[in-house]
A and B are shown apart, each in its own frame.
Chain A
Amino acid sequence: MRVQALPLDAATYQRHSLHAEDRLWVEKNCYVDVWIELVHALGCDPHAILPVTVALDFEGDQWTFYKPPLDELRDLYGIDVNEMNAWRPMLEHALEHLAAGKFICVEADAWWLPDVSGTDYRSQHVKSTIILADVDTAARRLGYFHNASYYQLEGEDFDRSFQLTGRDPAFLPFFAELVRVDRLVRRPPAALAALARTLLQRHLARRPASNPVARFAERFQRELPLLQAQGLDHYHAWAFATLRQLGSAAELTSLLLRWLAADGAGIAQETGALAPAVAAYETISSGAKTFILKAARAVNAKRALDSGAIFDEWSRAWEQATATLDATEAHAR
């Protein structure tokens, strides 16, 4: 039995440009990544889910693990998301809902996800979010969105992902959401950009009250000896929670602003009054990319890292971006 919420082929699937190989941060976080791709696969433009990035904050041991708010998915695209009560085996839920044209956004164990063969597949039990789109029980095959693209798994990976074999009696169901697209709205580019601009203003108003980069800088300088004591594996986890969220969100904000400058019809090279904010977010994004490597070196070699000038530059960039957007968005209202 095969059920498909969307007819996709993992071998020929074309990922969205936000996940292009030449992006500084190809993968952002698992949750926003799958939403970028599902919105794209449904024929809509995912740039409009990005305004949330402008309110990114530093939360002490991590930057905001940013996600598209569910009410915005509904307002922008007519996509309806609710928690799914996982009271049956997940495969039964999948057969039921995919056949009805719904998707299931669910946490999974990356140990059984072959698309992450470079990191966790068959090496680490790590929770990650995927979206189920295509299940074939006879072939024991699953088509799923994960990270930057759409993939397929089969065989033992299928059995274990759906807990068909090797069932652990202490296993608790993963968190799952049911995604309905029967009221999907595909808006013209300018109309979608206008809505996204309203959301940008909303998120700008709820941005951190104090400069989050300055708070991150202070914490990093204090914490570097601890990072050095805990080694590289711990560093990678720290970098994912901090620099990757900061850097990828800044790159997405810069791309959102370029897209808004083009009224939703592409990525503008000339961004007019938004230009200082675009440049500021690009400074933070590229700076964080370099800093991941510099800090890894300092952790690995257990030596000092003079990060003051780097953080000062990002801190000024955050102030500049915010001041620019305050001015342009007040004017746009």
Chain B
Amino acid sequence: MSERVSRIRTILKEHARLSRDAEALGSDDDLYQAGMTSHASVNVMLALEGAFDIEFPDHMLKRSVFESVGAIDAAIDELTTGR
């Protein structure tokens, strides 16, 4: 597991209020199905922005970007590549 994915899982553990262990989630497992509410997803977004020093552009402020560990990882990769 990459360091980035590990940090994403830690943030999910702290903010997503999942009904399952964030460490045990598959990359494509649906976080909303795992219990993340839209309320919690706001806190997840803010924590991700703070941890990775990024700002999700408007077109990324949608449900699908935050729906799985893999989707979040891909979005952060897109925002940080070339730094």
Contact = CB atoms under 8 A, between A and B. Distances in A.
The answer to whether A and B belong to the same complex is: yes
Contacts of A297: 45-46, 49, 55
A82 interface: no
Interface size class of B (residues with CB under 8 A): 20 to 34
DSSP majority for the B interface? loop
A221 interface: no
A230 interface: no
B9 interface: no
B61 A293 contact: yes
Interface string A31-72: 000000000000000000000000000000000000000000
B35 interface: yes
Interface string B28-71: 00101101111110110110010000011010011100000000
Interface in A265-313: 286, 289-290, 292-294, 296-297, 300
Given A27-B38, A117-B19, 11 more contacts: A21-B30, A25-B38, A117-B17, A118-B16, A118-B17, A119-B37, A232-B43, A239-B42, A293-B42, A293-B45, A297-B46
22 contacts: A21-B32, A21-B33, A25-B38, A27-B38, A117-B17, A118-B17, A118-B35, A119-B17, A119-B37, A236-B39, A240-B39, A286-B62, A289-B62, A289-B63, A290-B62, A293-B42, A293-B45, A294-B61, A296-B42, A296-B46, A297-B46, A297-B55
